[in-house]
Amino acid sequence: MSALPTTGREWHLVARPQGWPTAEDFALREAAVEAPAAGRILVRNAFMSVDPYMRGRMNDVKSYVPPFQLDRPMDGGAVGEVIASADDRFQVGDHVLHGLGWREYASVKAEHATKVDPDAAPLSAYLGVLGMPGLTAYAGLLEVASFKKGDAVFVSGAAGAVGSQVGQIARLKGASRVIGSAGSDDKVRYLVDELGFDAAFNYKNGPVVEQLRAAAPGGIDVYFDNVGGEHLEAALTAFNVHGRATICGMISVYNDTEASPAPRNLALVIGKRLRLQGMLVGDHAHLQEQFVSDVAGWVRSGDLKYRETRAEGIDTAVDAFVGMLRGQNTGKMIVAL
């Protein structure tokens, strides 16, 4: 067995961002790498994920997941190769998915790692289409929003990792109409020409409520919310009676320094008998096996397409993270290490 590395680099949060994160809020530091203790494995990370929820963890507030600690390595989804093992469940050369990203080498508790097959799908796919974002889309549409055949579905942030999958699953499951919003004309073309959305619009080109009304003249039955703000307000106006919304994210307000006003038309929930439900993907682990079976099959057949936007090298991770928050990605933002 080749000698193990003695050091590796890892990203630390060194200040709580005020508004948009800046380079000064982070530090790339050298850390010692040691052979794994009993029950652990040492993983050379190949890819790491940057995701919107990580912005909330940079604030020192109580939430569903603990905040990042200052002057400690951050964490998040990652996939890599086992280079040393002190647990019989894993061998050197295995590939695993785990939660200690933002670093080149990770000492992972064996029970917190999941074997993945690099021959069944590219390793990076386990962070996107076959990973947490994919399950979020699958569970959020089919279980949380109680999607049924014939529903008209509106997806905000539809060119991102989650939204692009929501729209395609809705189409495959028999939606009557699938509408998406995105932040550029190129992304709008991608949604319609490549992913099969029935309509899409650039939210920067005019009021969302007007563009959604034009794209969904018959109203909508399901709204998958990745954005919040003006998009949620527009969806409330467009909803048919008994509409359902999955509130997955509100990326439009994550970097605000002042509280944003609630939708001004929230009273529509009453007369239209709407259901607005928040979701956390961890509540839907029971769907994992069915999700992988369905989505892997759709990917193999070409019925479900996905893209990745890649940044190369751990040095680029913070720029990739901020770029993702600004919508510079199409599909999943991945950092290749």
Q: What is the pLDDT of residues 84-108, one digit of tens each?
A: 999 999 999 999 999 999 999 999 9
- State the total domains in the chain: 2
pLDDT, tens digit, 9 for 90 and up, residues 288-298: 999 999 999 99
Do 19 and 116 lie in one domain? The reply is yes
- The residue behind tokens 């794994």 is 36
- The residue behind tokens 């190369």 is 312
> Does the residue 296 lie in any domain?
no
pLDDT, tens digit, 9 for 90 and up, residues 20-54: 999 999 999 999 999 999 999 999 999 999 999 99
Q: What does the pLDDT read at residue 253?
A: 86
> Does the residue 257 lie in any domain?
yes
Do 11 and 67 lie in one domain? The reply is yes
Do 150 and 249 lie in one domain? The reply is yes
pTM score of the predicted model: 0.93
For residue 1, pLDDT over 70 is answered with: no
Q: Write the CATH number for 257.
A: 3.40.50.720
> Does the residue 76 lie in any domain?
yes
Among candidates 257, 252, 262, which has minimal Cα distance to 228? 252
Range of the domain at 48: 7-128+307-336
* Band of residue 257 on the pLDDT scale cut at 50, 70, 90: confident
Do 168 and 232 lie in one domain? The reply is yes
Q: What does the pLDDT read at residue 254?
A: 83
Do 320 and 252 lie in one domain? The reply is no
252-282 b/e (C-beta count within 10 Å ≥ 16 → b): bebeeeeeeeebeeeebbeebebebeebebe
Residue 7 identity (one-letter amino acid): T
Q: What does the pLDDT read at residue 95?
A: 98
Q: Report how far apart, in Å, the C-alpha atoms of 118 and of each of 125, 133, 243, 289 are.
A: 9, 19, 40, 18
* Band of residue 326 on the pLDDT scale cut at 50, 70, 90: very high
